[in-house]
Amino acid sequence: MRPSPVALALLLAASCLAGCASLAPAGADAAGPHAVPDDNLNAVLWMQRSVEYRAASEGIYRAAAERLDEALADPRWNALVPGELGGTAASLPPAVVMDVDETVLDNSPYQARLVRDGLEYDDATWAGWVEERKARPVPGVVEFARAASANGVTILYVSNREQRLAEATLANLRSAGLPVADDDVFLGLGTVVAGCEQAGSGKTCRRQLAGRKYRVLMQFGDQLGDFAETAGTSAARDALYAEYRTWFGERWWLLPNPTYGSWESALWEGWRGLSREARREAKQDAMRVD
C-alpha cells in the first residue's frame, strides 16, 4: 500500500528534522549556538544600554564635584585610612585617587565579547583589549576630573592593570579626555614602593605611596578593595563597610559594576579555580528568597 500524500509529507518532514539535528553543533538548540545563558549578559547590557546606569554614574561624579571645595578647604580632610596616611598630610598638595577599570574607563565591550564568544577573562585577551586603547570614559568622570584638575588637584590612577600596560593605559586616558599630569600618575600592579611589599593585587602599598606625596581628598572605585585593604570574605567586607560607611558619598565614591569584582568571589569565600557551574551553584545558594 502506497502512503497517502499527507503521510508522505510527514515522513519527509521528520527525515529533514532528523538530518538537521544530526548536523547541529553540540549544545545548540532552537535558541542558537549559545543556548546556555551567560550569567553576565544582563549586567553587561545594563551598563551599556540603560539610562539608569548613566544617571547613577553621572550623579555620583556630580555629587563628588559639589564636595570638592569643602574637601580642599578643610586641612583635616583625608580619604586614606589611618594606616595608609603619610606624614603631615595638611602640608601636602591635594590629589584624588581613582581606580581605572569601570571607574574611569568603560571596558564593557571586552565583557560583551566574552559573553558573545562564550569565554571567560584571561590575561592574554585582556591585554589585547587594553592595547586597543579605545575604552570610553565612564559617564560623568571627565567633567569631574577636569574640574578637580582646574582646582589644582592631581588625579592619581591607582589600577590593577599591570605596570607593563602603562603606556597603552595612559594613551587611552588621554584620548578619552582625562587629565594626565605626567606618566607617574599611573600606579599599576607591580609598582615598586620603597619600604612596602605586597603580594597579590592589593593596593595598600600604592595608596601609601600616594599618601606620602599628597593629601588624598577622595577615592573613587568600583570595588571595596579600591578604598582600603580587606580580606576576601563576606564577614571581612561587612566589617570594613560598617567601620567606614559614613565615608561613602563624602570621601569614598563607589561606582556601580555588576559585571565582576570581589563581591562575587566573596560568595564562595575567595576559593579560586571553581568551574563556571560551581560558581553558578554558589550564587544560587546565596540568593535570598524570603
In terms of Cβ atoms closer than 10 Å to its own Cβ (0-12, 13-18, 19+), residue 28 is middle
Contact 104, 138 (CB under 8 A): yes
> Would residue 270 count as lying in a domain?
no
**Domain containing 113 — which CATH number?**
3.40.50.1000
Closest CA to 131 of 98, 107, 99, 151: 107
Please report the DSSP string for the chain in residue order: -PPPHHHHHHHHHHHHHHHHHHHSPTT-BTTBTT-SPPTTHHHHHHHHH-HHHHHHHHHHHHHHHHHHHHHHH-TT---S-GGG--S-GGGSPEEEEE--BTTTEE-HHHHHHHHHHT----HHHHHHHHHH--PEEPTTHHHHHHHHHHTTPEEEEEEEEEGGGHHHHHHHHHHTT-----GGGEEEET--BTTB---TT--HHHHHHHHHH-EEEEEEESSGGGTS---SSHHHHHHHHHHHGGGBTTTEEEPP--SSSHHHHGGGTT--S--HHHHHHHHHHH----
Sole residue written with cell 571553581: 274
pLDDT digits (tens, 9 = 90+) for 81-134: 998 986 667 789 999 999 999 999 999 999 999 999 999 999 999 999 999 999
φ, ψ of residue 139 in degrees (nearest 5): -55, 130
> Would residue 59 count as lying in a domain?
yes
* Model pTM score: 0.87
Chain mean pLDDT for the chain = 88
pLDDT digits (tens, 9 = 90+) for 222-275: 999 999 999 889 999 999 999 999 999 999 999 999 999 999 989 988 677 889
> Would residue 185 count as lying in a domain?
yes
User: Domain total for the chain?
Assistant: 1
> Would residue 88 count as lying in a domain?
yes
> Would residue 8 count as lying in a domain?
no
pLDDT at res. 37: 81
> Would residue 65 count as lying in a domain?
yes
Contact 80, 211 (CB under 8 A): yes
> Would residue 3 count as lying in a domain?
no
Percent of the chain with pLDDT over 90: 76
pLDDT digits (tens, 9 = 90+) for 5-39: 434 343 334 443 344 433 333 333 434 454 568 99
> Would residue 285 count as lying in a domain?
no
Domain residue limits at 154 = 35-260
